[in-house]
Structure 1
Amino acid sequence: MARATAETTRRADGHEAARATAPASTAPDRRKAALRPRNAATLIILDHAGRVPKVLMGRRHQGHKFMPGLFVFPGGRIELADRHMPVAGALNDRAEAALSTRVTRPPHHLGRALALASIRETYEETGLMIGTTAYGPPETTPDGPWAAFREAGVMPDLEAVQFIARAITPPQRPKRFDTRFFAVTRAAVAAETTGIVGPDAELTELAWVSLKDARALDLPRITAIVLDELENRLAAGFSPMLPVPFFREVRGRQTREEL
């Protein structure tokens, strides 16, 4: 073990005194570099055909290390295949611009890949396919979950997708994500595969709930915040041209910007 050393200092009365100092190398380093957040996407499916708008929520499996047992919107990280999946329609220019804002050197087609990730993750977790059957099946699809869209004759339709919020997990968390929240109406569901949700699946149950009832569920904090933003967006007409809120921690303080 390293030993303390004596350091001579001069007091105000002119006399010298010695004090023990620990070598700098033995001082504990309390600083820990924050994990770099990974790009992720979430999809809110909104049913506002009735008097009271409803959203689709899913309960995460209790065995998950990340947010076990909480109700969330389906979503997850971008995968390589998301960059190569054919689509029908495109994100509107307002969404594309907002998705590239506050991003250092955004990769080509970042917005497209994020929107497709939200659609793929929604299918993997709920069995719901967001898209259209009007153009027939895509001629080719990447291997993996996207093949189910070809088999069902569904093309993912980005024109139906709105970008409504962005949030970055605060530093010093064991997992960090730069999550973009997208939204579609229930009319964008073109097909469904049954048997995806169950006791041993990623989501153990699904529920269509009003915004009021959704807030009463066991939610992650950011999900509750986005529900408030969604309600405000609906009250403002649910236009794709509305500003997009961006939540992150800056110098230890939670902030809300608009993209």
Structure 2
Amino acid sequence: MSHAEAIPAATVVVMRDGGGGLPELLMVERSRAMSFAGGALVFPGGRIDPGDHLFTDTHEDSAARVAAIRETIEEAGLALGLDCDAATLAKIREDLHAGRPFAQLLAEASLALDLDVLVPFARWLPYGLPHRVFDTRFYLARAPEGAAPLVDGSENVRLCWITARGALDAADRGEAMLIYPTRRNLERLALFDGFDAAMAHARRFPVETITPFVESRDGVDWLCIPEGLGYPVTAERMDRAVRA
């Protein structure tokens, strides 16, 4: 599959201050019925729709930011870069679920998006998978004050606020499933004591497209990513890696 055939997608790591001194991340558990990452714990996000290009410039990053904001509303009922009350947000979410265009809903409510609330963090493009391949841009965002997300109950069956280390530990205990990119990103996010530290770190590393590759080490295959992109762990045994 060529780069052009990959499905453009976007996801966002929403962070809030945690009671234990470590930031908590908003994660959703995918329905096991979903063909991609069924049953996995992931960050809110999804594919970039044609309508996400309608009220931005032609740069793919802008459409990806719109998609990340739209998907977070759809999946978690959480508004990023959007100044509106709870009733308006609930109506927009309901209309999105009904298939109405996001740009039209914002125009009707006289609302504009602040795309700058999203900080570029990573871009992953895995190949060699037995299903559709996604070219996914990851962003960081600070949780809005008083955020009270609600699961959509269709694509996702549960949502939670959890620390990066907490999610990794849950997976190691067999209580959660993490696909390879999510695990690597959680290991990176576990380095930070808050949103500001994560944002500063992200800005030190220009976003490069990450395509995992297989490397044999002493007769054992490892799934690897390049060094120097901000990730503390860059390899995992193939027989332990979850590739959706």
Give TM-score scaled by structure 1 length.
0.64
Q: Is the 8 A contact 1:129 1:149 kept in 2?
A: no
Structure 2: distance between partners of 1:144 and 1:160: 22
* Paired AA for residue 115 in structure 2: L
Quote the residue 2:182 is aligned against: 223
Q: Is the 8 A contact 2:51 2:102 kept in 1?
A: no
Relative to structure 1, the CA distance from residue 209 to residue 250 in structure 2 (aligned partners, 3 Å threshold; closer, same or farther) is closer
* Paired AA for residue 61 in structure 2: G
Structure 2: distance between partners of 1:213 and 1:193: 19
Quote the residue 2:47 is aligned against: 77
Structure 2: distance between partners of 1:58 and 1:245: 26
Relative to structure 1, the CA distance from residue 234 to residue 80 in structure 2 (aligned partners, 3 Å threshold; closer, same or farther) is farther
1:113-155 per-residue CA deviation (whole Å, 9 max, x = no partner) reads 1111111111111111211328xx9xxxx95244454566643
2:6 aligns with one of 37, 40, 53:
37
Quote the residue 2:35 is aligned against: 65
| Structure 2 unaligned spans of 5+ | 89-98, 171-175, 216-222, 231-244
* Greater Cα radius of gyration, structure 1 or 2: 1
Relative to structure 1, the CA distance from residue 74 to residue 227 in structure 2 (aligned partners, 3 Å threshold; closer, same or farther) is same
- 1:64 Cα deviation (Å)? 0.9
Over aligned residue pairs, what C-alpha RMSD do you find?
Answer: 3.3
Identity %: 27
| Structure 1 unaligned spans of 5+ | 1-32, 87-106
- 1:40 Cα deviation (Å)? 0.8
Alignment of 1:223-242 (within 5 A): 223-232=182-191, 237-238=197-198, 239=200, 241-242=203-204
1:116 aligns with one of 55, 66, 71:
66
Q: Is the 8 A contact 1:126 1:203 kept in 2?
A: no
Relative to structure 1, the CA distance from residue 66 to residue 132 in structure 2 (aligned partners, 3 Å threshold; closer, same or farther) is closer
Q: Is the 8 A contact 2:119 2:139 kept in 1?
A: yes
Write 1 or 2 for the structure with the bigger share of strand: 1
Structure 2: distance between partners of 1:34 and 1:241: 29
Structure 2: distance between partners of 1:68 and 1:233: 28
* Paired AA for residue 241 in structure 1: R
